[in-house]
Structure 1
Amino acid sequence: MSISLISLFRSQIEYSLTNNVNHIIRLSSTSTLNLLPITARQNPNDYRRTQLNKNLLRARETVKELSSLSPVLTPEDHPKLSQNQAVGMVAAAQANFMRVVVESSGFVGRGNNEVGVELLCVVKAVLKKIKRRVLVGDKVLVGSVDWVDGRGMIENVFERSSEITDPSVANVDHLLVLFSMEQPKLEAFALTRFLIEAESTKIPVTLALNKCELVDEQTRLLWKSKLRSWGYEPIFCSVDTKHGLKTLEFVLREQTTVLMGPSGVGKSSLINALRSNSHVLSRDDDNWIARTEGGKWSEYQRVGEVSVKSGRGKHTTRHVSLLPLSSGGYLADTPGFNQPSLMKVTKRSLAQMFPEVRKMLSAGEPKMCSFNDCLHLGEPGCLVPSDWERYAYYLQLLDEIKIREEFQLRTFGTKKESDMRFKVGNMGVKQAEPRLELKKHRRTSRKRINQSFLDDLDDDDNLSDAEEEVAMVEADVSAVGHDNQ
């Protein structure tokens, strides 16, 4: 009887404790909801999620500021700038120094006087370590700025909208291929190489022919008809007579244009002519540059004469520089080179670099050849005939690219990895870090070390045996000599 009473009493205590705990939980949740706003009482899960997102974003900004690695910055990002930081554009690159024109700064003392100032900068070591190149035209974050001496250090690079390799310029909107009609004389194959290099970047291309006053009207009409059949509408211009400069100003306005072409065609002279406009830039213009004493942006470009002996231009421009135009936009002056590398062109993409081939493929039905890997060498079902004007140039360039690709396949193989990899760090911040070469940093095993040591001992033993044989031969020779005597 006593045992049954004890069990009944225990069950009643457990039931009362359970009811009290549930009541306390309901009271605590009700009091917590009363402290929240009305929207949070209706949807408490949504409220908690919103608060978590705000905290997460705040934490991400903190990680970006304090991280030792280099965070990835998009063009839409607006990083918080300290007193000695600024955001600008790389205007020129020479040796290990970069000239950066300030677009915005965190210095608050003299208003916006720092906008347009030119800074002489070096590149931070961590960017070199992860092999993130800084090119002319890049939007960069500059730190450790000395506003008195005009110096700083490039700490990060914003993501690029475009990039070309010959020459190395970033964030390009337009390409201007410049050749001369005479001095040096216009050559069809050299022009084709430059046009293919420009087409491989997938950036809009304009063709201009300088020194048109040195040839007659018939020659100009002949080249105009030829280039139209290639798929280009050339602009004939002359720096000496100012012919065609207004048309070029209209084409280049409000764009970042790279001027490319061989040496001696008048690239620097054309830039000086386009920049000598009497229009004065105001501080409100987007491409206003502070006319500071000694600033490279306010100087004219050096020009040189064409060599009398070879008939080719001399290398006057030594480095890439980005210069503002009075009509708006920027123009990049680049060193002249006679052989574009065509590194981005493959044997399968070469045909697409010719506008006349693209036109033939689009006009056909069906709009592609029978084979996906057709090289247009007379394969069955090929839509591209062999009677177009630049077909011989196509074959010559195709052989050159085949040789290069075979050499790369033998040397580097098929697997290609970049020197930099991206990872998501703390709080979801995307960061860049260098990719290590596994074979370079891998330790040599003890077994291989011992084996190499034994191989060295065997080489020493073989060497000693060879020395003994040489000594015995010399002794025999000397003995024969004594006998003859």
Structure 2
Amino acid sequence: MLEGVILKGIGGFYYIDTERGVYECRARGIFRKEGIRPTVGDAVRISVLDEEKKKGSLDEILPRRNELIRPRVSNVDQAVIVFAAKSPNMNLDLLDRFLLLAEEQELDIVIVINKIDKDKKENYLAAAEMYRDAGYAVICTSAEKEIGIDALRTALENKISVFAGPSGVGKSSLINKAFPGLELNTGEISEKIQRGKHTTRHAELIQITEKSYIVDSPGFTSLYLTHIPSEKLQYHFREFLPFVHACYYNGCVHINEPDCAVKEQIGKAIHPMRYERYVTIYHERKEEEERRF
């Protein structure tokens, strides 16, 4: 058998990158019977059916290090979460939901604030500082003015990186600036509704250097966190971690309890806006859990 990585899947065909080139493969029927879905990023074994035409059979999926749900991709090293400083305006509640999803998968995270040239008042600087203080790598960029492109290129070296973020924030434009030969499709922002046209139709693993891949994926405007229990949310706000076990009460969720070490850090090690969004998401998840049970 030949080993490789799934670059993309379209219409039941999977395109597998191997040391002998890319093969077009159908998955064995047993995957469907067992409810297993091959995913972009999967390390797999294939049987070659036609070497000349590069046709094969996807026979085995090797164990996954991790698996994201939306976008559906596996074996990712880091999430590159892209938001725009302006056009569209930054939605920090949505950014925190992307962060929760990446933290839950134990991914390295890079936050990219793009289109900084459009934010004439430089309001993005406060957001950048807040997330840097929380422990995140933040790169401020402008694809149009070619600001921060070298820093982004360096951050992608020797990694499998998934690009995520809302539509219209310039993910494809940034990738094209960093790696001009890729020529990914880009779209324009609709001034009327301030949402990007969905120029990327499916998740796809793209090789950018010999040992570096990116996943360009459809933009999103909402994220569901139903697989993360409400009591576990605190462990995915990384600036909470030094304090979560210092509370007086075991099982403290840092909202109504007295003698809470986390709440004592609000305005110090924990930004008040980040704490407020934690509380909002916690109540949202708690209500969902109570409705379910």
- TM-score norm. by structure 1 comes to 0.56
Q: Give the drift of 1:327.
A: 7.1
Q: 1:92 is aligned with what amino acid?
A: K
Match of 1:375 among 235, 238, 253: 253
Query: Residues 151 and 406 (structure 1 numbering): CA distance in 2 closer, same or farther, change over 3 Å?
Result: farther
Q: Deviations over 1:64-88 (max 9, x none)?
A: xxxxxxxxxxxxxxxxx3xxxx221
Q: Deviations over 1:295-316 (max 9, x none)?
A: xxxx632111111211111211
Q: 1:97 is aligned with what amino acid?
A: F
Where 2:188 maps in the other structure, the secondary structure is coil
Whether the aligned pair in 2 keeps the contact of 1:182 and 1:215 (CA below 8 Å) is yes
Match of 2:262 among 368, 384, 394: 384
Aligned pair 1:310/2:197, yes or no?
no
Match of 2:7 among 91, 113, 116: 91
1:242-253 alignment, distance < 5 Å: 242-253=146-157
Q: Give the drift of 1:360.
A: 3.7
Match of 1:260 among 164, 177, 184: 164
Q: 2:3 is aligned with what amino acid?
A: V
Q: 2:160 is aligned with what amino acid?
A: T
Q: Percent identity?
A: 31
2:202 matched to which residue of 1?
Answer: 319
Where 1:399 maps in the other structure, the secondary structure is helix
1:275-294 alignment, distance < 5 Å: 275-276=179-180
Structure with higher Rg: it is 1
1:350 matched to which residue of 2?
Answer: 233
Q: Give the drift of 1:403.
A: 2.5
2:277 matched to which residue of 1?
Answer: 393
Q: Deviations over 1:328-348 (max 9, x none)?
A: 411110111111112332111
Q: Distance in 1 between matches of 2:263 and 2:214?
A: 39
2:123 matched to which residue of 1?
Answer: 219
Q: Distance in 1 between matches of 2:177 and 2:55?
A: 31
Q: Distance in 2 between matches of 1:392 and 1:95?
A: 43
Q: 1:94 is aligned with what amino acid?
A: I
Aligned pair 1:100/2:4, yes or no?
no
Query: Residues 407 and 94 (structure 1 numbering): CA distance in 2 closer, same or farther, change over 3 Å?
Result: farther
Structure 2 regions of 5+ residues with no counterpart?
267-271
Q: 2:107 is aligned with what amino acid?
A: I
Q: Distance in 2 between matches of 1:327 and 1:178?
A: 24
Q: Distance in 1 between matches of 2:97 and 2:58?
A: 35
Whether the aligned pair in 2 keeps the contact of 1:174 and 1:257 (CA below 8 Å) is yes
Where 1:222 maps in the other structure, the secondary structure is helix
Q: Distance in 2 between matches of 1:125 and 1:233?
A: 43
Q: Give the drift of 1:396.
A: 1.5
Whether the aligned pair in 2 keeps the contact of 1:146 and 1:152 (CA below 8 Å) is yes
Q: Give the drift of 1:144.
A: 4.6
Q: CA RMSD in A?
A: 2.0
Q: Give the drift of 1:149.
A: 2.3
Q: Distance in 2 between matches of 1:347 and 1:153?
A: 42
Q: Deviations over 1:162-188 (max 9, x none)?
A: 222121111111111111111111122
Query: Residues 255 and 233 (structure 1 numbering): CA distance in 2 closer, same or farther, change over 3 Å?
Result: closer
2:70 matched to which residue of 1?
Answer: 166
Q: Give the drift of 1:233.
A: 3.7
Q: Deviations over 1:103-145 (max 9, x none)?
A: 3xxxxxxxxxxx2x22222211011111222111111111252
Q: 2:186 is aligned with what amino acid?
A: V
Q: Distance in 2 between matches of 1:88 and 1:222?
A: 43
Q: Distance in 2 between matches of 1:393 and 1:345?
A: 16
Whether the aligned pair in 1 keeps the contact of 2:164 and 2:219 (CA below 8 Å) is yes
Q: Distance in 2 between matches of 1:128 and 1:333?
A: 26
Whether the aligned pair in 2 keeps the contact of 1:140 and 1:158 (CA below 8 Å) is yes
Count of paired positions: 287
Where 1:191 maps in the other structure, the secondary structure is helix
Match of 2:90 among 171, 180, 186: 186
Question: Which has a greater percent of helix?
Answer: 1
Q: Distance in 1 between matches of 2:120 and 2:210?
A: 31
Structure 1 regions of 5+ residues with no counterpart?
1-80, 104-114, 278-298, 362-366, 410-485
